[in-house]
Amino acid sequence: MQHEVIHVLLADDDDDDRLFFKDALEEIKIKTHVITVIDGVELLDHLLKPDIVLPHVLFLDLNMPRKGGMDCLKEIKSENRFKDIAIAIYSTSASEKDIEEAFVKGANVYIKKPSDFEQLKKVLSKVITINWQYHTSGLNRDSFLLSV
């Protein structure tokens, strides 16, 4: 049971950011399986496909063309079948107001995009590890809030 893979989904329109993200996850201890999409429209198309494995964690960039992170958050939160997905907002902005709004609208994690790779690895490792504890120890997801 403990060697299960964590399914991760990332929605980010920046090519470099997607690449760094994947590289960073490859280097952390917990095994992950990553799928990436380039904006909110593609994200919802993906989630609504029949028979997909729902991600354990979804990382959402706030600023994306066509459909941004906040709209996605709202839509995903209104669907009952997505209630077990932990949602991590992944953004360059870190204003207190943005952070609080995201949490109030149902995000579980708020990540200020780190500027260097080592820091990114650290942050992602923390998020995945804590999420893993929620997943395996039956902790209460409703009050799972983490800001890094």
Contact set with other proteins (CB under 8 A): 1-2, 4, 29-30, 100, 103-106, 110, 129-130, 132-133, 136-140, 143, 145-148
Between 22 and 135, CB nearer to other proteins: 135
Closest alpha carbon to 49 in 37, 61, 57: 37
In the complex, least distance from residue 38 CB atom to other proteins, rounded to whole angstroms: 28
Strands of the chain, DSSP E: 6-11, 32-37, 57-61, 86-91, 109-112, 146-147
Lookup: tokens for 37: 């999409």
Between 37 and 128, CB nearer to other proteins: 128
Lookup: tokens for 141: 């997801």
In the complex, least distance from residue 2 CB atom to other proteins, rounded to whole angstroms: 5
Between 46 and 135, CB nearer to other proteins: 135
In the complex, least distance from residue 147 CB atom to other proteins, rounded to whole angstroms: 3
* Distance, CA of 7 to chain centre: 10
Looking only at the bridges linking them, the beta strands covering 146-147 and 109-112 are parallel
Between 93 and 147, CB nearer to other proteins: 147
In the complex, least distance from residue 124 CB atom to other proteins, rounded to whole angstroms: 13
Question: What span, in angstroms and rounded, lies between the C-alpha atoms of 85 and 107?
Answer: 10
